[in-house]
Structure 1
Amino acid sequence: MGASDGSNIVLVTGANGQDGHYLVERFVARGFDVHGMCHSTEGASRLIAEFPGVTAHVADLADTASITDVVVNVRPTHIVNLAGNTSVERSWQFPTETADVLGVGPVRLLEAAWQLQLSAGAPVRFLQASSAEVFGDALSSPQRESTPRMPVTPYGAAKSFAQEMVAVYRARGMLASSAILYNHESPRRPASFVARKISRQAALIATGGAESLTLGNIDVFRDWGYAPDYVEALVTILDQPDASEYVVATGVAHSVRQFVKTAFSYVGIDDWESYVIIDPALYRPADPKSLVGDPAKLRSLGWKPSVDFEQLVHIMVEADLALLEDRV
């Protein structure tokens, strides 16, 4: 399928990630001609193995030429940018890389899409995955689309710049939107993320495979949702006739402490404190203490989360228990 037959052609960057996987799956189900951009040939092979009808491309958001080549060759009608490392902790270790890939990288993609739009004479719908980290230690709660952005991490600063550039291209005449995504998890989340680390260790401890869980600050609050619900939000935003910015959140915050308690309770452990080791070395510099979003604007489009906090934790722990059973 190609642009000449009037098909919907979507390019999903970061196709190997948690959100990328669910989004590719969703667009395949909708009958789109789906193209996934991956960071490596290994990633491209994995994508094709899982989704045989999808076309995989290897490119890097830090490389203008490769980004331009993919857009020119695919000629997408829709682009969703999910590419780049999503670890806030890693952004402190590699701040310049973070600025280039997560901040400038989306501009490379926007410009390639803009040039395609000019040459094709047809709009290219663009959606940038932004982050609640753009709000930093927000002065007001919950945060809305109009809340001033005050990032306190390299990750948040890069995402804020990219979001601003999306608005610049929107003013220029592109159907370019930003989804301000709050924390969202699933069994596809890597164990390097705190939510998956908790669910995995709870499952291991319950089955005798581990004796403790080491964490940093457990008294920060986050607005946690279910990744497939948030991917559905991305599709909803992309389907709108006009481009804009949307907070994607549940509107309810829970602490890491509550996440741990809920996970351990699910596996029948009530004295969870005796298993948890607090390591001050794992505390992040300038970590926002509380982030909770107001999804009223997105809800007005008919979207709402299908999974609440407790259900989310249960889904993740159950998936990790199942993985351990499969390995026995």
Structure 2
Amino acid sequence: MAGSLISGAGGFVGRALAHHLRASGEQVETVGLRTDAEGARETAVPPVERWRRALASARPDTVYHLAGAMQGDEAHLLSINLGLTEALFEALRLTDLRPTLIIAGSAAEYGAAALDGIPVREDAACSPYAAYGRSKLAQTQAALTFGDETSSRVLVARIFNPIGAGMPPHLALADFAAQIALMPPEGGELLTGNVDVRRDFMRVDDVAVALGSLARHADAAGLCNVCTGVPTRLGDLLQEMIAASGKAVAVSADPARYRPHEPRIIVGDTTRLRAWTDEPMRGGLREAAVQVLSRAQPGRGADAPVAGRTVQADLQENRA
């Protein structure tokens, strides 16, 4: 039977999605990451050909495109986030396949459109603050254009703030966990930015469930926020981690970590998500925050690779 093809299955969200789909009995093939430690290795096979080979082998009903990058300059982020997506579209045009496409977007696309405390809707006029958000918005625009031009079902899932074990180390909770893990048993000082902000956090496992549900719902197309609509204070999650560590941690605000003009509360509107998915986000955020800490403890290895056949494993993973 046909199933799903996931790009970026070695990433934070991709691992959770692959696990969820396989646990649901779905056949899953993956397109994962292959780079050296600096991420600079070039492959002799162009991205379009890699996609074409993967599609021809898997012949999937659904393609989940999660591959991407969060860090780098504008040109690099565009070359990965937009470039790999355009390569997918070009490869599809070379085949007779028209799978459902679920593209991982980002809440960073909204930027100044996300007003303090007001749930941001998918039809908001996006004004990203930074290069990452701009690259993801360009990806979204290309995806929607491809859907219109080919009559393919394309859905861009604007994911807000997933948390859980294996979070990328540059994100706030993972950074806090790493600092706590490196402290001696008696504790120490932990540097933070503004922990009084409230964000739309959700468990990464719930994100995976939502993406699977969106793929199954025939009417789900265009844009959809993947979020809870509920603000959670960052500092509360940090305190759960500190309590679980058993260490005496002194939290110190570092002005260099503050972001200028940062809204106090950012949440997404859940109207479309609730109309198109089977299950609401289930909470469990404090437990997820403690899992982040557990993974950061000394002696814990990197996440194991995703099980199963990899069709062509050399695309960038998405660490959003």
- Listed as ranges, the gaps of 5+ residues in structure 1 are 1-6, 44-57
Matching residue of 1:97: 76
* One of 62, 75, 82 as aligned partner of 1:78: 62
For 1:61 and 1:247, locate their aligned partners in 2 and report how far apart those are by CA, in whole Å.
34
SS of equivalent to 1:212: strand
Q: Which amino acid in 2 is paired with 1:35?
A: E
Which deviates more from structure 2 when the two are superposed, residues 237-246 or residues 254-263? 254-263
Q: Identity over aligned residues, as a percent?
A: 23
Q: What are the superposed Cα offsets for residues 211-254 of structure 1, whole Å, 9 maximum, x if unpaired? A: 22223343443211100001100000011113232111111223
TM-score, normalization: structure 1?
Answer: 0.77
Query: Of 218, 230, 234, which aligns to 1:241?
Result: 218
Whole-angstrom CA distance in 2 between matches of 1:290 and 1:61: 44
Deviation, 1:108, is 1.6
Match of 2:107 in 1: 132
Deviation at 1:68, TM superposition (A): 3.0
Contact 2:122–2:223, Cα closer than 8 Å, also in 1: yes
Query: How far apart, CA to CA, are the structure 2 residues paired with 1:261 and 1:227?
Result: 20
Number of the residue aligned with 1:146? 123
Give the structure 2 partner of residue 165 of structure 1: 142
Deviation at 1:320, TM superposition (A): 4.2
Indicate whether 1:190 and 2:165 are aligned. Answer: no
Aligned to 2:25: 31
1:59, 1:70 within 8 Å by CA — same for their partners in 2? no
Instruction: State the one-letter code of the partner of 2:10.
Output: N
Cross-structure match for 2:292: 316
- Of residues 299-308 and 13-22 in structure 1, the stretch that sits farther from structure 2 once superposed is 299-308
Q: Residues of 1 paired with 2:163 and 2:45: CA distance? A: 24
Give aligned pairs, total: 292
- Bigger helix fraction: 1
Relative contact order (C-alpha < 8 Å, sep 6+): which is higher? 2
Partner of 1:155: 132
Question: What is the CA–CA distance in structure 2 between the aligned matches of 1:64 and 1:294, rounded to whole Å?
Answer: 35
Asked if 1:68 is matched to 2:52, the reply is yes
Q: Is the 8 A contact 1:61 1:108 kept in 2?
A: no
Deviations 1:238-276 (A, max 9, x none): 11113232111111223433332333244467x85xx22
Aligned with 1:21 (options 7, 15, 20) = 15
CA RMSD for the aligned pairs?
A: 3.1
State whether residues 137 and 288 of structure 1, in contact with CA within 8 Å, keep that contact through their aligned partners in structure 2: no
CA distance in 2, matches of 1:148, 1:196: 31
SS of structure 1 residue aligned to 2:28: strand
The Cα shift of 1:61 comes to 11
Q: Per-residue deviation at 1:324?
A: 4.9
Residue 27 of structure 1 aligns to which amino acid in structure 2?
L
Shift of 1:26: 1.9
Give the AA of the match of 1:264.
Answer: I
The alpha-carbon deviation at position 153 of structure 1 amounts to 1.0
Alpha-carbon distance in structure 2 between the residues aligned to 1:284 and 1:38: 33
- Whether the 8 Å CA contact 2:114–2:266 is kept in 1: the answer is no
Q: Is the 8 A contact 2:49 2:91 kept in 1?
A: no
**Aligned counterparts of 2:181 and 2:193: Cα–Cα separation in 1:** 19
| Gap regions ≥5 residues in structure 2 | 302-320
Cα offset, 1:157, TM superposition = 0.8
SS of the aligned residue for 1:211 comes to: strand
CA deviation vs aligned residue, 1:266-308 (integer Å, no higher than 9, x gap)? 4467x85xx2233333345776654211212212333211224
AA partner of residue 126 (structure 1): L
Alignment of 1:263-274 (within 5 A): 263-267=241-245
- CA distance in 1: counterparts of 2:111 and 2:132, whole angstroms: 10
